[in-house]
Amino acid sequence: MRLLFIDAFVGFGSVGRIVQELYDTAEERGFECCIAYGRGDAPDGYNTYKIGSKAGVIEAGIESRILDNHGFASRNATKRLIAFIEKFNPDVINLHSIHGYYLNIKILFDYLHKTHRKVVWTLHDCWPISSHSGFIQLNDEGKIPQYESKYDSTQYPKNLWWHRKSKNYFKKESVFTQIEIQDLVLVTPSVWLKNLINISYLSKYDCRVINNGIDLSLFSPTSKDTFREKYGITKNQKVLLFIANYWEDRKGLKYVRELAEKIDDSYQLIVVGDLMKQRLPENVIHIRQTQNREELVELYGEADYFINPTLADNFPTVNIEAQACGLPVLTFDTGGSAEMITQETGVKIIDKSTQGIIDALKLAEKQHFSSEKCIENSKNFEKNAQYSKYIDLYEKM
């Protein structure tokens, strides 16, 4: 059986790593696999197809930012992708992040509809059902807005001039709903996103939850104390760890800054990720973005609590990784970010504020969460168990 994955990246970022690991699992099960990707480079040893070029990504980015035409550029690159699909002739196509300045969704979905290709579409955010942005906020009627929402033009994908919010919403609806029901199955990593799909124009399709998985052979308890020694952190200080690939507004960096100003020196804050030209107080240790998982494991091992102040998220795997390393998780109860923690492994912060984080820390100190409970809970998200659900779905389709 031939299986084609389509994503913006291979092995980079959380989604790119998921695609790479799904490829590994499927290949072990006897599938002939290929990954079609749009940006960056692919790791060695994988059968891949590069969609378009760096110049094409820049051109699509300009069209997106100036004309608010995200997902409708990259015309020639998508036509060449279709020619490749015809040549590879996959039995199933697993779509992942189809936005990111590399695909023309109309050309691709017109082709999928015409050819009745079997498609599994894994949704990692709200972009396919929004007027513009990757994350949405329901309107006062509890419905998905057809116009601008809270996380819109100023967030990815940024739009600087021409705004076509309602037009884009209905264009997406027309494009994405043309595939026959029997040819498409949707997958969401979180119950939260599945619930949104169920009230969207994609509600006619079968939608199931398959959680993101992690490699438990890599993410496990460790502590070398080398990081504390390097940065002069005393053993009496408790380390609060914050991680994001990019600290855009929805990731909640402002709460980290406010926390650093209010908390005493019995705590040391560590922020990992690209600050996107933002600044941190001097008492916060900043580590630039890293894709080195061994380094991440060491950081988890040095920390006392992992805090995720995200204001919009799907199913962040960092919350699972932290627990696998024995680390309790304190997270805002937004999106699916709290779905992977229990009362014994962390705190769901209802009050999405700096004071809410402080109160959660006080509660965590009283709770005395055990590393063993955190590790045990993380086993529910072991990657092979989760990816096997995908294999069953591919075979069924």
Taking the alpha carbons at both ends of the chain, their separation in whole angstroms is: 11
**Whole-angstrom distance, CA of residue 138 vs CA of residue 199:** 10
Together in a domain, 171 and 283: no
What pLDDT, in 10s, does the model give residues 303-325?
Answer: 999 999 999 999 999 999 999 99
Together in a domain, 325 and 187: no
Confidence of residue 12 (pLDDT cuts 50, 70, 90): confident
Together in a domain, 262 and 275: yes
What is the domain range of residue 295?
226-381
The whole-number pLDDT of residue 166 equals 65
Q: What is the mean pLDDT of residues 360-383?
A: 95
Residue that has been written with the tokens 């015409």 in this structure:
114
The whole-number pLDDT of residue 161 equals 65
Does the structure show a pLDDT above 80 at 156?
Answer: no
The whole-number pLDDT of residue 245 equals 86
Does the residue 196 lie in any domain?
Answer: yes
What pLDDT, in 10s, does the model give residues 45-81?
Answer: 999 999 999 998 889 888 888 888 889 999 999 999 9
Together in a domain, 200 and 261: no
Together in a domain, 244 and 260: yes
Burial of 279 (0-12, 13-18, 19+ CB in 10 A): exposed
Together in a domain, 161 and 27: yes
Together in a domain, 39 and 186: yes
What pLDDT, in 10s, does the model give residues 133-143?
Answer: 888 888 888 88
Together in a domain, 245 and 374: yes
Helix or strand holding residue 243 (H, E)? strand 238-246
Together in a domain, 58 and 205: yes
Together in a domain, 189 and 299: no
The whole-number pLDDT of residue 342 equals 97
Is the model's pTM score more than 0.95?
no
CATH number of the domain where residue 76 is located:
3.40.50.2000
Q: Which strands make up the sheet holding 118-122, listed edge to edge?
A: 48-50, 32-37, 2-7, 92-95, 118-122, 184-188, 206-209
Together in a domain, 15 and 90: yes
Does the residue 70 lie in any domain?
Answer: yes
Does the residue 219 lie in any domain?
Answer: no
Could you give the number of structural domains in the chain? Answer: 2
Quickly count: other Cβ atoms within 10 Å of residue 37's Cβ. 27
Does the residue 98 lie in any domain?
Answer: yes
Together in a domain, 176 and 265: no
Specify whether the CB–CB gap between 348 and 341 falls below 8 A. yes
